[in-house]
Structure 1
Amino acid sequence: MSTQTIDSAMARRMVEASAIHGASIIGRPGGWSVMLKLGKVEKLLGTQRTDKPRMWRSLDTCMDYLRNELHIVRVDLLDATHYSDGDASRRPRQDASERMKRAHEAAAYDAWFREQVQASIDDPRPSISDDEARARFANRKTALRRRAQ
């Protein structure tokens, strides 16, 4: 089975070996993809572990990736013919909002809990020892038993 894409790790190695002779940014519904030229063959830059083209929603982030990750600083072609902002096939994940809400609640609880612990540590009132607390509780327990009889 021949692959239709090249993943980033392979593309990086090919750039280092000067095997990539050019790059084009191609507009697609929902974003931008990168076509790499290998001699007379062109292949899309793909995602890890799949044979699907890698997509960027922003042209800036696509170019930043090429420059910073693959060290490709020259683009031969920018084709926006089929570019559109939205992608009908891409649906937002329904659980993302709920997941973020739970994460914010957890962070808020963690901050509150840490404040409570720090306030307890910083409390200037003298704390009592375990033995003293047990003795006080035993006295209260004895007093309650006497009243109950």
Structure 2
Amino acid sequence: MKQRRAPVATQNLDHANLSKMAESGRVHATHIVGQPGGWAVQVCVNDQEHILTAQRSGGVRLFKKFETLVAYLQGLGIDHFEVDTTDYDPLTVKTYQRPDRAAALRQAHEAAAYENWFAAQVEASLQDPSPVIDHEEARRHFAARRAALKSRPH
């Protein structure tokens, strides 16, 4: 038995607008359409097909994992949908790594480690039982040492 293929979407729809439409009950039908690389979402609103787009790129939003897509739709209150696997190829779905995020996390961890080290150094300094010398006394002490060094024969 051949599955009905979802119609081609004519309008783009971002998350904010889809959320509003789902909340107001204007979504009449939802189709999950397999694509090379993942799953796309098409919804029917007022007899027009809309496709969910990514907010940053404006391109079709693809979900790599079907479970993530189902959770996303359930979060919007959409729990009935048709699935079209015609163009889905699990071999083209690849997870991708974001080296920019890895670098940012590494920097955040390094910064946190430095902050901890610095706080420990400050605390150790505050707890140090050595006598404290005020600024003027330190200036006089080092001025005397400089004078002694200058007066030495070369």
1:59 matched to which residue of 2?
Answer: 66
TM normalised by structure 2 equals 0.72
The whole-number CA distance in structure 2 between the counterparts of 1:124 and 1:86 is 66
| Aligned counterparts, 1:5-84, within 5 A | 5-48=12-55, 50-68=57-75, 70-72=76-78, 74-81=79-86, 82-84=88-90
Pick closer, same or farther for the CA change 1:31–1:107 going to 2, 3 Å: farther
- Give 5+ residue unaligned stretches, structure 1: none
- Describe the superposition over 1:127-146 as per-residue Cα deviations: whole angstroms up to 9, x where unpaired: 22111211211111121122
Aligned residues: 145
SS of the equivalent of 2:27 reads: coil
- Give 5+ residue unaligned stretches, structure 2: 1-8
Q: What one-letter code is carried by the residue in structure 2 that aligns with 1:53?
A: V
Aligned-pair Cα RMSD in Å: 3.1
2:6 matched to which residue of 1?
Answer: none
- Describe the superposition over 1:39-59 as per-residue Cα deviations: whole angstroms up to 9, x where unpaired: 433221112265411122222
Pick closer, same or farther for the CA change 1:138–1:51 going to 2, 3 Å: closer
Stretch of structure 1 that moved more, 97-106 or 28-37:
97-106
1:132 matched to which residue of 2?
Answer: 137
Give the fraction of aligned pairs with identical amino acids, expressed as a percent: 37
Pick closer, same or farther for the CA change 1:51–1:105 going to 2, 3 Å: closer
